[in-house]
Amino acid sequence: MSNSLWHIRATPLPARVDRVVVGAGIAGISASIAFESLGLDALVIDGRYPGWGASGRNAGFLMRGAADNYAAAVDDLGREDAKALWTLTENNLTRLRSLGIDRLPHYRAQASCLVAFDAEEAAQLERSARLMAEDGFEVETRQGQGEHADALWRYEPPRIGLVNPHDAVCDPVELLAWLCSMLKRMPIAETTLQRIEQTDAGFAVVTSRGTVMAEQVLICTNAYTASLLPDYARLIQPNRGQMLSLDASGLPAHERLEFAYYANHGSEYFRQLDDSTVIVGGWRRHHEQDERTLENEPTAGVQQGLESFAERVFGRRLPVRHRWAGTMGFTPDHLPIAGPLDASDATSPWICAGFTGHGMSMAHELATQTALAMSGRSELPDLFSATRFADADAGRIAR
C-alpha cells in the first residue's frame, strides 16, 4: 500500500526510539501504552492503519475465559493454568475499567452466557460452574425459560447457560481509537515492517518507509506473523472469522437478547446492540479448510450458515444489513504466545500474538504484561512461552 507525501510528512519516522511495536491492533497499542507509562519512546508501525486487523472486525465481547469452557480448559491445561488464564481475562477488563472504558459511548457492562444445546456440552458447563465456584470465580447457571425469556430461550432453548455476571461488550473500533488517544509521545506510523537486523547499535527495523533504530522490538502482528517470521507459520495460523448484522427492530421488546451469547463451545456468538441490531458470528467449524486464509472477505457458505443459525435463535428470518470478515491468529493449543523470540535471550525481539478467537478479552492485559516484562519490570508466566511447542526453533527467527 502506498503512502501520500502528506501522510509521510505528518508522521516522519524517527531515527532512533526505545521500542518499535509492529502492529496497531489491541495488542500493539496496549503494549505501547505500557511502554509510555515507563517513560519510553515507543513507535507503533502498522502496514495499514490501527484496527485494520482483527481488532477492528470482531464482535466486541470482553469476556472472562477462553475459546471453550472452564472444564475444557482444566482438562487441557491443568487446574492452575486454567485458573491463571481466567484470571488474566478478568484482569484484562479490570485494567480497561481502571483506564475509564466505561465512559465510552458504546461500552456496556453486560453478562455473557455460554449455552449448550447438547447433553455433552451441558454436562461440561455444569462441571465448569462447579470448578469455577471452587476456584473463586463468581458464576451463575440458568436452566429453562425464565419469566422474561428472550428470543433464544423462547425459540431455541439451550439445555443450560453458564453466566459470567461481570463481563462487558464494546464497539471495538471505538475502544481502539480510545486506546490510541492515550499514546502521547509519538504518532502511529503507517508503514510495513520488512525485516529486523541486529547491529552493534541495536535493532535496525527496516520498513517500507525507511529504517528506525530501536533498542528493542515487539511484534504484535497476530494472524500476519508468518509473513515476517516464517518459522512461526506452524505456531500462528490464519483463520478467518465471519460475521453479519441483522435488523431486529421488529423484534418484540421482551425477546431482546438478555446476554452476550456464546454457543457450541464458542463456535457461534451473538449479541444485540442498543439500537436493536443483532450481530452474529461463527460457523467457521463447518468450513474449516476454506477459512484458513488471510482473505478478509465473507463467503456464501458461512454466511448462509449464520443466517440459518440466527433464524433458529429468533424464530424468524431477520433482514441482513451487513456482512464482514476478519482474520484471527490461531495457535495449536489456542493460547497466545508472548516472550522473546529467542527464549534464551531476553534482548532478542519479542512477540505477543496468537490470540485465537479471544484477543479482545486477553490482549490488553497480556500485551501490557509483555511490555513490562521486556523492560524487566515483571515476569511472564511460562504458560505463554513459545517453548511449550517443543520443536519450535524460535532462536533462528530474527537473527
Ligand X SMILES: Cc1cc2nc3c(=O)[nH]c(=O)nc-3n(C[C@H](O)[C@H](O)[C@H](O)COP(=O)(O)OP(=O)(O)OC[C@H]3O[C@@H](n4cnc5c(N)ncnc54)[C@H](O)[C@@H]3O)c2cc1C
The yes or no reply on residue 61 touching ligand X (CB under 6 A) is yes
Site string for ligand X, 226-265 (x = CB under 6 A): --x------------x-x----------------------
In angstroms, the CA 137 to CA 119 distance is: 24
Spatial CA neighbour of 219 closest among 111, 122, 108, 337:
337
| 319 to 338: interface string for ligand X, x by CB under 6 A | -------x-x----------
CA distance 376 to 338: 14
Q: Smallest distance from the beta carbon of 20 to ligand X, in angstroms?
A: 10
266 makes contact with ligand X (CB under 6 A): no
Cα–Cα distance between 101 and 272 in angstroms, integer? 19
Q: What are phi and psi of 114, to 5 degrees?
A: -85, 125
Between residue 65 and residue 124, which ones bind ligand X under the rule CB under 6 A?
A: none
Rounded distance between C-alpha atoms, residue 260 and residue 115, angstroms:
10
- Using CB under 6 A as the binding rule, whether residue 280 contacts ligand X is answered as no
Say how far apart CA 101 and CA 128 lie, in whole Å: 29
53 binds ligand X, rule: CB under 6 A:
yes
Among 17-25, 114-122, 140-148, 307-315, which window interacts with ligand X (CB under 6 A)?
17-25
Residue 314 sits in the site that holds ligand X (CB under 6 A): no
Please say which residue, 58 or 128, places its beta carbon nearer to ligand X: 58
Q: Which three cell numbers stand for residue 255?
A: 425477546
Question: Which 201-230 residues touch ligand X, going by CB under 6 A?
Answer: 220-224, 228
Q: Which stretch binds ligand X (CB under 6 A): 24-32, 78-86, 131-139, 209-217?
A: 24-32
The HSE-up count of residue 388 (CA atoms within 13 Å, CB side) is: 17
Q: From the centroid of its chain, how far is CA 45?
A: 19
Decide: helix, strand or coil at residue 5.
Answer: helix
Judged by CB under 6 A, the residue of 21, 47, 212, 318 near ligand X is 47
Q: How far is the CB of 134 from ligand X (least distance, A)?
A: 25
- Per CB under 6 A, does 339 bind ligand X? no
Query: Closest by alpha carbon to 186, among 355, 53, 45?
Result: 45
Q: Is 193 in the site for ligand X (CB under 6 A)?
A: yes
The H helix count followed by the E strand count for the chain is 10, 19
How far apart, in Å, are the Cα atoms of 334 and each of 136, 199, 264, 329? 24, 34, 16, 9
Q: Is 22 in the site for ligand X (CB under 6 A)?
A: yes
DSSP-derived 3-state class of residue 187: coil
Build a one-symbol-per-residue string for 357-376: x at contacts with ligand X by CB under 6 A, - elsewhere. Answer: xxxxx-x-------------
Stretch that binds ligand X, among 3-11, 57-65, 195-203, 249-257 (CB under 6 A): 57-65
Q: Which of 57, 64, 108, 209 binds ligand X (CB under 6 A)?
A: 57
H or E element at residue 227: helix 225-228
The footprint of ligand X (CB under 6 A) covers 22-28, 45-48, 52-55, 57-61, 192-193, 220-224, 228, 241, 243, 281, 326, 328, 353, 355, 357-361, 363
